[in-house]
Structure 1
Amino acid sequence: MKLRLTFLCLILICILTCAQDKNPTNKDNSYKIVVSDLNIPWGFTFLPDGSMLITEKSGELIHFKNGKKTKITGLPDIYLRGQGGLLDIILHPNYKENGWFYFSYASSEGEGDGGNTAIARAKLKGSRITDLEVLYKATPNTKKGQHFGSRLVFDREGYLFFTIGERGERDINPQDITKDCGKVYRLNADGSIPSDNPFVDSPKAKKAIYSYGHRNPQGMTLHPKTKEIWTHEHGPKGGDEINIIKAGKNYGWPVISYGVNYIGTKFTDITEKEGMEEPLHYWNPSIAPSGMAFIDSNKYGDWNGNLLVGSLKFQYLDMCSLKNNKVIKEERLLNGLGRVRCIEQGPDGYIYVGIENLGIIKLIRK
């Protein structure tokens, strides 16, 4: 009996070792803490003078400059529940000329109890924001605490893309273009609807929708070469995925998926279906991805062109090597440092990473 147990233990160790080897830890990296003592830095962006605007999920907007944190006042009311709070933040591409920055947050404005994702823009004057404009507010409100989505990206043509998760309504929202949630959206910078959005002529459709059939996209970035919008999204138990977003396309949730319910039961038997986009990559088991950025500088040698994805669940930065839009290799960076929430390439070409209960660090290659 003892020999049998020993043999089974050896097999288990071998399986675990092999699983780890599929995503080896890259030792050729270190880091420097740039901003310390942050709880959940959900998003951050660099201002032209090199200072930073940082969102804390708890509802604080922080200006970090010359080693000092200043709390910015004048924010709208932030609805704090579950995964909701103050979320992503980016600058307008012409920020130097117009001063607009954009942010996403959970809001209780509108009809019904609870809250939903909102997108706003504002300007910074000293230590407070001015000229606040709410550009989009998803409906209806709900007391559910999950799947707010909320990543923001400008493309090269000046369109604002943002994500909203399906808010825990798997069988109601993502496949219905007359409803908010479970979508990627596109607006003009002033909040108006682009005339060539894919559903502007569809009766009762939400005109801002750009793609649908999403679960909870918490990563979005612009490919530095192709200029395409890339996203990743949380699956349930298994089935986290990376997608390239195309106008009007259906990304399948929950009809197709590589995941199962959290209790292990199935909600679908298929991973592909005509008229639905399959992911270019998926994770099983789930890594709980958050934050997403390409390396597009000469600071990291042959890492240039790789895709970085944060893992909340396993607390590492996943570096994905790509070939023909396929992930051919994965390596763990910053392994065990903490839950990776957000990733940005700074104006100096270095990668900066927001890590829960630590702060914002600069990735250094030895």
Structure 2
Amino acid sequence: MRLISLLALAGLLVSAPVSAQTLETRVTGLEYPWSLAFLPDGRMLVTEKPGRLRIIDESGLVQTPVSGVPEVFYSGQGGLLDVVLSLDFETDGLVYLSWSGGSAGDNTLYLGRGRLEGDALVEFDVLFEAMPHRRTDVHYGGRMAMIPAEAGQAATVVMGVGDGFDYREEAQNPGTHFGTYVRLGLDGQPAQRVFENSAPGVISIGHRNPQAVVYDATNHVVWSHEHGPRGGDEINELSSTANYGWPITSHGVDYTGALVTPFDTYAGIDEPIHVWTPSIAPAGMALYRGEMFPEWDGDLLVAALIPGDADVPSGHVRRVELDAGQVVGEEVLFGEIGARIRDVRVGPDGAVWLLTDEAEGRLIRVSRD
């Protein structure tokens, strides 16, 4: 069991000086952008929730939407969500997407892939469909991470699936995909079965609304985070067969102020390594590896949609300092942007890239002065 870190209460939360960084808006006018991936030739792929996949060149020119993207159910928190490249993209050209599909009364989370040829996705296949379907348009999850082949195991993709809000009790049932992480082969086939009679691919349960998952190739660790209700946002070290508690345990309360559960710990439940109360509404997350900001190496950068304390009036990024897998410090970054931050990514040169969650969303590059 891991100890929970409540660093803000211990006085370890600090605001970062902005003099060391240059924030440059590269693109404006993106409609609720959600995710970003870097192509080997210097261009970028950006998803927009209404269902568009954009190619952006190095100069910031936004190209017409890529064709061949699946039709999405764009409502509430649903739409076109994550985009990640194949581990062998330079040879196979494969792009993986997650999205919500269906209708208001019958929808779910999907994962699929197609090959990028010019400005089109061709031979697109649906690889995964979360079951059962739901009638809500919130708590989809949808973030993915590619896990390379190691220790005799083939390469896989890990994806979080939300509890659908109205189905939170199902997060304790491995026989559904509600409130789980799944691990799949690159062709969508379940990589392993770790719970008896589990739904295909399920490797962990007890999640509320998972919003990020990243793989640390140096330490062979998978980090994830998720939204709590009112308070209780979590960072977890993700492992197979684990139960992360929701809704048996939580460090937050319901939006009405009522208790969801009287327990913040419980026998057999894996505890988070870090909790935010009040909530910061964590969104995308990146593990920093790069030479541009060497003091951040090995730390998590967490996009935040809402303020987490009175001194931060808007969305921002939290730098979560890790030491031997434990949280030892936390820093507020980029609050001066004045917008909800939906995604944070580390570019090939070590620069940090941000997407703002707005109708006129921005793509922002952060570099060293």
Asked if TM exceeds 0.5, the reply is yes
Decide which of 10, 16, 38 is 1:26's aligned counterpart: 16
Q: What secondary structure does 2:25 align onto?
A: strand
What code does the residue aligned with 1:352 have?
Answer: W
1:236 corresponds to which of 229, 234, 241: 229
Query: How far is the alpha carbon of 1:113 from its aligned partner?
Result: 2.8
Match of 1:281 in 2: 274
Aligned ranges for residues 223-262 of structure 1 at < 5 Å? 223-262=216-255
The match for 1:166 among 150, 163, 176 is 163
Task: Indicate conservation of the 8 Å contact 2:110/2:130, yes or no.
Answer: yes
Query: In the alignment, does 2:181 pair up with 1:184?
Result: yes
Cα deviation, residue 97, structure 1 = 1.1
Which residue of structure 2 lines up, in the alignment, with residue 362 of structure 1? 365
Secondary structure of 2:298's counterpart equals: coil
Give the whole-Å Cα distance in 1 for the aligned partners of 2:125 and 2:169.
29
Partner residue in 1 for 2:3: none
Question: In structure 2, the residue corresponding to 1:150 is in which secondary structure?
Answer: strand
Looking at structure 1, the residues matched to 13 and 214 of structure 2 have their Cα atoms a distance apart, in angstroms, of 23
Alignment: residue pair count: 343
Q: Output the amino acid matched with 1:73.
A: S
Task: Describe the SS at the equivalent of 2:293.
Answer: helix
Work out whether residues 146 and 158 of structure 2, in 8 Å CA contact, stay in contact via their aligned partners in 1.
yes
Residue 335 of structure 2 aligns to a residue whose secondary structure is coil
How far off is 1:305 after superposition?
Answer: 1.7
Aligned 1:19-98 pairs, distance under 5 A? 22-27=12-17, 28-65=20-57, 66-70=59-63, 71-98=65-92
How far did residue 39 of structure 1 move?
2.9
State the one-letter code of the partner of 1:57: K
Name the aligned partner's letter for residue 297 of structure 1: G
1:68-147 alignment, distance < 5 Å: 68-70=61-63, 71-108=65-102, 113-147=105-139
Aligned to 1:352: 353
- The structure richer in strand per residue is 2
* Segment drifting more, 57-66 vs 84-93: 57-66
Tell me if structure 1 keeps the 8 A contact 2:109–2:130. yes
The amino acid of 1:258's aligned partner reads: H
- SS at structure 2 position matched to 1:174: helix
Residue number in structure 2 paired with 1:153: 145
What SS does the corresponding residue of 2:207 show, helix, strand or coil? coil
Aligned-residue offset at 1:22: 4.8
Offset, 1:293: 0.8
Encode CA deviations 1:160-200: one digit per residue, 9 max, x unaligned. Answer: 10111001134432100111221000010011122x3313x
Residue aligning to 2:152: none
Contact persistence 1:182–1:214 (CA under 8 A): yes
Query: Unpaired segments of 5 or more residues in structure 1?
Result: 1-17
Q: The residue matched to 1:69 in structure 2 has which SS? A: coil
Which residue of structure 2 aligns with residue 211 of structure 1?
204
Q: Which sits farther off after the overlay, 91-100 or 70-79?
A: 70-79
Q: Greater shift after overlay, 32-41 or 291-300?
A: 32-41
TM-aligned CA deviation for residue 21 of structure 1:
6.5
**Structure 2 match to 1:198:** 194
CA RMSD of aligned residues (A): 1.8
Aligned partners of 1:207, 1:35: CA distance in 2, in Å? 39
Q: Structure 1 residues 171 and 90, CA, compared in 2 at 3 Å: closer, same or farther?
A: closer
Contact kept, 8 Å, 2:169 with 2:247, in 1: the verdict is no
* Secondary structure of the corresponding residue to residue 24 of structure 1: strand
Inter-partner Cα distance in structure 2 for 1:137 and 1:248:
21
Whether the 8 Å contact between 1:310 and 1:316 is mirrored in structure 2 is yes
Q: Secondary structure at the match of 2:292?
A: helix
User: Normalising by structure 1, what TM-score?
Assistant: 0.89
For 1:171 and 1:49, locate their aligned partners in 2 and report how far apart those are by CA, in whole Å. Answer: 43
After superposition, the Cα gap between the structure-2 partners of 1:20 and 1:42, relative to the gap in structure 1 and judged at 3 Å, is farther
Mapped partners of 2:34, 2:267: distance in 1: 36
What is the one-letter code of the residue matched to 1:25? S
Residue number in structure 2 paired with 1:340: 341
Q: Structure 2: how far apart are the matches of 1:181 and 1:19?
A: 32
Alignment partners' CA distance in 1, 2:108 and 2:263: 30
Q: Distance in 1 between matches of 2:317 and 2:258?
A: 29
Match for residue 7 of structure 1? none
Amino acid in the other structure paired with 1:318:
R
Look up the equivalent residue of 1:252 and give its one-letter code: G
- Aligned to 1:321, the other structure's residue is in SS state strand
Instruction: Tell whether the 8 Å contact from 2:98 to 2:143 is kept in structure 1 after alignment.
Output: yes
Tell me how far apart the structure 2 counterparts of residues 29 and 242 of structure 1 sit (CA, whole Å).
Answer: 26
Q: Which has the larger radius of gyration?
A: 1
Instruction: Give the corresponding residue for 2:311.
Output: none
